[in-house]
């Protein structure tokens, strides 16, 4: 929350801007857990409806690669 507040103080006005300036939305869930609360906090700090701050741009999912599969191709 402190980092979101700092980002707003630095001029962030959208969820994507918050995502660029903080780690919000950058974890394994890609914002599915923290995206809503971050958007609500941003809207509250700006005094606008939550719809006005937008949504985070979706990113391709991160899928862990099993080490066994990578080692099969090693010489």
Question: What distance in Å separates the CA atoms of residue 40 and residue 38, rounded to the nearest whole number?
Answer: 5
pLDDT in tens, the chain (75 residues): 899 899 999 999 999 999 889 888 877 777 788 888 889 999 999 999 999 998 877 666 667 777 777 776 666
Residue 50 belongs to a domain: yes
DSSP 63: -
pTM of the prediction? 0.69
Residue 69 belongs to a domain: no
Cβ pair 51, 36 in contact under 8 A: no
- Domains contained in the chain, number: 1
Residue 70 belongs to a domain: no
Residue 47 belongs to a domain: yes
pLDDT of 6 reads: 93
Cβ pair 64, 30 in contact under 8 A: no
Full residue range of the structural domain in which residue 40 is found: 2-56
Residue position matching structure tokens 């630095």: 10
pLDDT of 49 reads: 95
């Amino acid at each position: 929350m402190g980092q979101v507040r700092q980002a707003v103080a630095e001029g962030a006005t959208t969820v994507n801007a918050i995502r660029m300036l903080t780690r919000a939305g950058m974890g394994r869930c890609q914002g599915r857990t923290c995206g809503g609360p971050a958007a609500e906090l941003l809207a509250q700090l700006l005094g606008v409806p939550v719809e006005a701050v937008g949504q985070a741009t979706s990113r391709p999912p991160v899928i862990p690669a099993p080490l066994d599969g990578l080692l099969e191709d090693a010489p």
